[in-house]
């Protein structure tokens, strides 16, 4: 493993205190794609793209048709996943800039902290977007607090998204490959004197921006925010999948003899979509489709490594997405023009940023060879519940005060029942899913955002029976006022709104 990895051992005596835990704890791998939609996988009936490695998980495990992220955007979605708390309870859980401080408090109990307590070696590799440091980050020193302080003993991450500066890898709080004679400076307020941007030097671009992505240019790609220095540390976008997949495989190899928890944050198909040359043209849908094929390759590499090491039968693998899909999200990359018959959201309405179903209903599958029987489940499950469910799996007591619920029987295919209700969130707005119904309160604002996705700002609000009307075309708010009032009352009781 990379020389920076230092993982603490846990004594047998500490493990013995958890009487309910099995003798041999299963490894746990959590793979989260970025902006992958409900209709973006062949396992979810897409006829326009082939994702055989992800399909292996879906077709040989539990494939959920009612699986949700906690939010329709990245930062709050991951916050809910790691803390077991609804992100809308934290007003700071919004899309963060690349220089934002750590969103999760060091004192919070988190999923990785819980697994450390259960004797697991923990690692976070790939997409992060939860902030680093305490504000006014000095990228030229060890950045604290970070992933380590919330329970990840090893981490190698991108600070935010691959379209935001800084465009460097951060390993255990230190920028990888940094030359101290060329220090990094980052600003989200103003450019550094003399540094080129997409506006001043368009000749530097190999990818054109469509909205907002017109600041610093690295690797021919315009970004959000301004960066100066750190040239030896700059990543090459086209190599990112190989870099992170290699690190994940190395971690698995180094900790194959003890229980481990790996969070693997895929950066695909988030913009800028820059698949490695060997995947270019693989989908016929341009860079977005090719990036999905590349993500499928990464999953295949992880699974092949588990197979090679004989770990597959003792490893629980969860695959999902942080939120729903988006096409034009700041760059001209043919995502719209080459879409053809592909439907990223499937039959769902909306997408990323939206309170309609496609904002938070995402691909969601749980695989454990020999322990889970292949099946399709319509149980209502959410990434929010990883914490309570994994606590039950590993013999931990979570305690009170969390929004996370124990839905382990559904995750393992032992039950078709899970949640009865769920509050979903999109950019501070909330809606309630209860049974077959979804209630969306009235919110003011435009109908669509700049990406073209419907936001679900419905005059008067909305009520939809999503069992009968999956595409949410029939607003029943006026014709079924009894149900509307019931859900509105419950929504207000939970959220206070």
Kindly state whether residues 399 and 367 are assigned to the same domain. Answer: yes
Report the number of distinct structural domains present in the chain. 2
Instruction: Indicate whether 448 belongs to any domain.
Output: yes
With vertex at residue 430, the alpha carbon angle to CA 425 and CA 431, rounded to the nearest 5 degrees, is 105
Domain ends where: 411, 429, 457? 411
Beta bridge partners of 123: 154, 262
pLDDT for 3: 40
Q: Read off the tokens for 372.
A: 């889970």
Kindly state whether residues 243 and 363 are assigned to the same domain. Answer: yes
Tens-digit pLDDT profile for residues 127-175: 999 999 999 999 999 999 999 999 999 999 999 999 999 999 999 999 9
Beta bridge partners of 28: 261, 316
Which CATH number belongs to the domain containing residue 427 in this structure? Answer: 3.30.1120.10
Interstrand relation of 260-265 and 121-127 (parallel, antiparallel or unpaired)? parallel
Kindly state whether residues 241 and 335 are assigned to the same domain. Answer: yes
Kindly state whether residues 459 and 384 are assigned to the same domain. Answer: no
Q: Read off the tokens for 45.
A: 């009936």
Instruction: Indicate whether 6 belongs to any domain.
Output: no
pLDDT at 326 over 50: yes
Domain that holds residue 464: 421-495
Tens-digit pLDDT profile for residues 220-254: 999 999 999 999 999 999 999 999 999 999 999 99
Instruction: Indicate whether 207 belongs to any domain.
Output: no
The Cα 352–Cα 323 span in angstroms is 6
pLDDT at 21 over 60: no
- Torsion angle, alpha carbons of 207, 209, 212, 216, to 10: 40
Kindly state whether residues 103 and 57 are assigned to the same domain. Answer: yes
**CA of residue 16 relative to chain centroid, distance:** 33
The Cα 186–Cα 192 span in angstroms is 9
Helix, strand, coil percent values for the chain (each to nearest 5): 25, 20, 55
Distance spanning both ends of the chain, measured CA to CA: 49
Instruction: Indicate whether 490 belongs to any domain.
Output: yes
pLDDT for 23: 59
Kindly state whether residues 261 and 380 are assigned to the same domain. Answer: yes
Q: What is the DSSP string of 385-413?
A: GHHHHHHHHTT----SS-S----HHHHTT
Instruction: Indicate whether 438 belongs to any domain.
Output: yes
Instruction: Indicate whether 103 belongs to any domain.
Output: yes
Query: Which run of H or E residues covers position 240?
Result: helix 240-254
Q: Read off the tokens for 377.
A: 């489940």
With vertex at residue 296, the alpha carbon angle to CA 54 and CA 419, rounded to the nearest 5 degrees, is 40
Kindly state whether residues 245 and 376 are assigned to the same domain. Answer: yes
Minimal CA–CA distance to 318: which of 217, 267, 409, 386?
386
pLDDT for 9: 36
In the 8-state DSSP scheme, what is residue 448? B
Instruction: Indicate whether 62 belongs to any domain.
Output: yes
pLDDT for 453: 85
Minimal CA–CA distance to 42: which of 58, 31, 27, 65?
58
Tens-digit pLDDT profile for residues 30-69: 999 999 999 999 999 999 999 999 999 999 999 999 999 9
Which region among 18-27, 218-227, 352-361 has the lowest average model confidence (pLDDT)? 18-27
Tens-digit pLDDT profile for residues 184-230: 999 999 999 999 999 999 999 999 999 999 999 999 999 999 999 99
Task: Say if residues 267 and 245 touch (Cβ distance below 8 Å).
Answer: no
Q: What is the DSSP string of 7-66?
A: -----HHHHHT-TTS-SSPPEEEEEEESS--TTSSGGGT-SS---HHHHHHHHTSEEESS
Which of the two residues, 309 and 17, has the higher pLDDT score? 309
Tens-digit pLDDT profile for residues 432-485: 999 999 999 999 999 998 878 899 999 999 999 999 999 999 999 999 999 999
Instruction: Indicate whether 265 belongs to any domain.
Output: yes
Domain ends where: 411, 436, 464? 411
pLDDT for 452: 82
- Confidence grade of residue 486 (pLDDT, cut at 50, 70, 90): very high
Kindly state whether residues 319 and 436 are assigned to the same domain. Answer: no
pLDDT at 16 over 80: no
> Average of pLDDT values for 278-288?
98
Query: Which run of H or E residues covers position 422?
Result: strand 421-426
Domain ends where: 370, 389, 411? 411
Beta bridge partners of 375: 62
pLDDT for 416: 96
Kindly state whether residues 330 and 371 are assigned to the same domain. Answer: yes
Kindly state whether residues 399 and 482 are assigned to the same domain. Answer: no
Kindly state whether residues 433 and 402 are assigned to the same domain. Answer: no
Minimal CA–CA distance to 432: which of 58, 32, 86?
86
> Average of pLDDT values for 110-124?
98
Task: Say if residues 54 and 41 touch (Cβ distance below 8 Å).
Answer: yes
Tens-digit pLDDT profile for residues 365-423: 999 999 999 999 999 999 999 999 999 999 999 999 999 999 999 999 999 999 999 99
The Cα 195–Cα 268 span in angstroms is 28
Task: Say if residues 476 and 464 touch (Cβ distance below 8 Å).
Answer: yes
Residue matched to tokens 């695989």: 367
In the 8-state DSSP scheme, what is residue 164? B
Which CATH number belongs to the domain containing residue 74 in this structure? Answer: 3.40.720.10
Minimal CA–CA distance to 406: which of 12, 20, 11?
20
The Cα 123–Cα 249 span in angstroms is 12
Q: DSSP 3-state assignment of 305?
A: helix
The Cα 275–Cα 112 span in angstroms is 30
Kindly state whether residues 355 and 470 are assigned to the same domain. Answer: no
């Amino acid at each position: 493993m990379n020389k920076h990895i230092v993982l603490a051992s846990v004594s047998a005596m500490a493990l013995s205190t958890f009487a309910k835990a099995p003798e041999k704890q299963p490894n746990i791998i959590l793979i989260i794609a970025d902006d992958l939609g409900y209709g973006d996988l062949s396992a979810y009936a897409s006829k326009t793209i082939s994702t055989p490695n992800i399909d292996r998980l879906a077709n040989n495990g539990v494939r959920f048709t009612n699986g949700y992220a906690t939010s329709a955007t990245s930062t709050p979605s991951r916050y809910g996943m790691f803390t077991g708390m609804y992100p809308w309870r934290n007003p700071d859980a919004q899309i963060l800039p690349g220089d934002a401080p750590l969103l999760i408090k060091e004192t919070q109990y988190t999923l990785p902290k819980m697994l450390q307590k259960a004797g697991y070696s923990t690692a976070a590799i790939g997409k992060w977007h939860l902030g680093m440091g305490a504000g006014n980050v000095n990228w030229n020193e060890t950045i604290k607090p970070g992933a380590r302080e919330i329970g990840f003993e090893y981490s190698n991450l991108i600070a935010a998204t691959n379209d935001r500066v800084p465009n460097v890898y951060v390993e255990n709080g230190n920028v990888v490959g940094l030359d101290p004679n060329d220090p990094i400076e980052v600003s989200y307020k103003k450019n550094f004197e003399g540094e080129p941007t997409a506006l001043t030097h368009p000749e530097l671009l190999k990818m054109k921006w469509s909205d907002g992505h017109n600041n610093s240019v690295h690797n021919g790609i315009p970004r959000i925010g301004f960066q100066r220095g750190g040239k030896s540390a700059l990543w090459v976008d086209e190599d990112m999948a190989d870099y992170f997949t290699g690190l994940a495989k190395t971690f698995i190899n180094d900790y194959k003899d003890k229980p481990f928890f790996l969070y693997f944050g895929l950066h695909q198909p988030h913009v800028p979509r820059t698949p490695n040359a060997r995947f270019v043209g693989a989908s016929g849908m341009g860079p977005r489709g090719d990036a999905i094929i590349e993500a499928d390759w990464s999953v295949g590499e992880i699974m092949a490594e588990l197979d090679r090491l004989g770990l597959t039968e003792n490893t629980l693998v969860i695959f999902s997405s942080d939120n729903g899909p988006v096409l034009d999200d700041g760059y001209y990359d043919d995502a719209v023009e080459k879409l053809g018959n592909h439907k990223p959201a499937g039959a769902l309405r909306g997408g990323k940023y939206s309170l309609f179903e496609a904002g938070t209903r995402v691909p969601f599958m749980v695989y454990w060879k020999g322990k889970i029987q292949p099946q399709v489940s319509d149980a209502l499950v959410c990434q929010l519940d990883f914490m309570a469910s994994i606590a039950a799996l590993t013999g931990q007591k979570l305690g009170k005060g969390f929004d996370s619920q124990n839905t382990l029987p559904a995750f393992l295919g032992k039950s078709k029942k899970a949640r009865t209700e769920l509050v979903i969130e999109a950019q501070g707005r909330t809606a309630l899913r209860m049974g077959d119904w979804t209630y969306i309160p009235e919110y003011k604002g435009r109908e669509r955002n700049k990406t073209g996705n419907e936001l679900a700002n419905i005059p008067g609000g909305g009520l939809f029976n999503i069992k009968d009307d999956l595409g949410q075309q029939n607003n029943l708010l006026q014709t079924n006022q009894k149900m509307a009032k019931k859900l509105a009352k419950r929504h207000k009781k939970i959220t206070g709104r």
